[in-house]
Amino acid sequence: MDIQQINMLLTVVLLTSVAGIGVAFFLARHVLSFSTGDKEVQEVGLAIQNGANAYLKRQFKTIVPIILLLSFFLYFTGKTPELAIGRSVAFLLGAFFSALVGTVGMNIATRANVRVTNEAKKGFGEALALAFKAGATTGMLTVGLGLLGATIIYWHYRELATEILIGFGFGGSLIALFMRVGGGIYTKAADVGADLVGKVEKGIPEDDPRNAAVIADLVGDNVGDCAGMAADLFESYEVTLVAAMILGGATFGLPGVLFPLAVRALGVVTSVIGIYSVNAKGKSQIGEGMMAILKAFGISTVISIVGFFFLSNYLVHEPKLAIATTIGIILSVVIFLLTDHATGNHAPVKDIVKQSQTGPATVILSGLVSGFSSTVWQILAIALTILLSYLLFNDPLTAAYGVALAGMGMLTTTGLIVSMDSYGPIADNAQGLSELAGLKGKALGILAKLDSIGNTTKATTKGFAIASAVVAAVSLFESYLTDTHLTGINISLPVVFVGFLIGGAIPFLFSSLTIRAVSNSCFAVINEVRRQFKEMPGIMKGTQKPDYARVVDLTTKAALDALATPALVAIIVPVLVGFLLKAEALGGYLAGTILTGQLLAVFMTNTGGAWDNAKKMIEEGVFGGKGSDAHKATVVGDTVGDPLKDTAGPAVNPLIKVMNLVALLIAPMVVATKTLTTTHWTLIILSFGVLLYALARSQKSVM
Tens digits of per-residue pLDDT, 616-629?
A: 889 888 888 888 89
Burial class (CB in 10 A: 0-12, 13-18, 19+), 578: buried
pLDDT of residue 1: 62
- CA 581/CA 649 separation, integer angstroms: 29
- CA 428/CA 419 separation, integer angstroms: 14
127-153: b or e for each residue (b if 16 or more CB lie within 10 Å)?
bbbbbbbbbbbbbbbbbbbbbbbbbbb
- CA 659/CA 662 separation, integer angstroms: 5
Give the mean pLDDT of 24-47. Answer: 89
Full DSSP string of 294-314: HHHHHHHHHHHHHHHHHHHHH
Q: How far is CA 139 from CA 103, 413, 651, in A?
A: 13, 9, 19
Look at 221 and 53; give whichever has higher pLDDT.
53
pLDDT of residue 703: 41
- 245-283 pLDDT, tens per residue? 888 888 888 888 889 999 999 999 999 999 999 887 777
- 479-497 pLDDT, tens per residue? 788 788 888 889 999 999 9
Please state the pTM of the whole predicted model. 0.87
- CA 272/CA 252 separation, integer angstroms: 30
342, pLDDT greater than 70: yes
Look at 421 and 265; give whichever has higher pLDDT.
265
pLDDT of residue 453: 84
pLDDT of residue 575: 93
- 295-330 pLDDT, tens per residue? 998 999 999 999 999 999 988 888 999 999 999 999
- CA 320/CA 312 separation, integer angstroms: 8
Give the mean pLDDT of 89-104. Answer: 90
Look at 448 and 592; give whichever has higher pLDDT.
592
CB 633 within 8 A of CB 356: yes
- 440-457 pLDDT, tens per residue? 778 888 888 888 888 778
- CA 334/CA 383 separation, integer angstroms: 13
**pLDDT classification of 702: cutoffs 50, 70, 90:** very low
- Kindly report the CA angle at 21 between 19 and 22, in degrees rounded to 5? 60
What's the maximum distance between 2 C-alpha atoms anywhere in the chain?
A: 78
pLDDT of residue 508: 95
Give the mean pLDDT of 680-693. Answer: 89
pLDDT of residue 155: 86
CB 243 within 8 A of CB 472: yes
pLDDT of residue 460: 80
Nearest to 546 by CA among 38, 47, 39: 47
Residue 552, by phi and psi: left (phi above 0), alpha (psi -120 to 50) or beta? alpha
pLDDT of residue 166: 83
607, pLDDT greater than 90: yes
Average pLDDT along the chain: 87
- CA 357/CA 379 separation, integer angstroms: 32
Nearest to 471 by CA among 411, 394, 418: 411
Percent of the chain with pLDDT over 90: 29
- CA 457/CA 418 separation, integer angstroms: 10
Kindly give the residue spans of alpha helices, DSSP state H, lying in 392-441: 396-410, 414-436
pLDDT of residue 700: 66
Three-state DSSP at 99 gives helix
Q: How many CB atoms lie within 10 A of CB 307?
A: 20
The DSSP code for 356 is G
- CA 428/CA 229 separation, integer angstroms: 15
Provide φ and ψ at 439, rounded to 5°.
-65, 150
Q: Which amino acid is at 277?
A: S
Give the mean pLDDT of 107-122. Answer: 90
584, pLDDT greater than 70: yes
Count CA within 13 A, CB hemisphere, residue 222.
31
